[in-house]
Structure 1
């Protein structure tokens, strides 16, 4: 495997978590515009992506494989939990 192949392999491992985090942050900012005025879109997305990345790694360690449904469920919890905590603290 070349270094470029390794980069794309790792990037594709984390891509679903990052995309879901960005979409969730965008949707939250659109739906609760007044309530989330103090939180930036970027802050919500970064915390969600970090939580989702940790969840993807945890799912990979626990199941031994990428792409299992329990791994995606854990990723969704990992993405939404940090964003929910940020929104509830505002």
Structure 2
């Protein structure tokens, strides 16, 4: 596998995490206007991307292949939990 193929595969693997990393803070800003996040928008995106990449990497390691629904469910739950924590919603 050449470097171009590796880059395309990595981008395909991280695409769902990137989508959620941008969607959750943006949706929070639009839908929950009174919510005051602990971090700026771009820090939330980076944090959620890191959480999502870790979950997808763990799912790839655990199942031995990409694209399992259990991994995607865990991705959604982990990024939603990280967003909930960054909003300090427990208070």
> Which residue in 2 is equivalent to 1:47?
47
- The answer to whether the 8 A contact 2:37-2:88 is kept is no
- TM-score with structure 1 setting the length: 0.87
Structure 1 vs Structure 2 CA RMSD: 1.8
Say whether 1:61 aligns with 2:67.
no
> Which residue in 1 is equivalent to 2:24?
24
Give unmatched runs, 5+ long, in structure 1. Answer: none
- The answer to whether the 8 A contact 1:21-1:46 is kept is yes
More helix, by proportion: 1
Give unmatched runs, 5+ long, in structure 2. Answer: none
The count of corresponding residues between Structure 1 and Structure 2 is: 90
Shift of 1:38: 5.6
- TM-score with structure 2 setting the length: 0.86
Shift of 1:47: 1.1
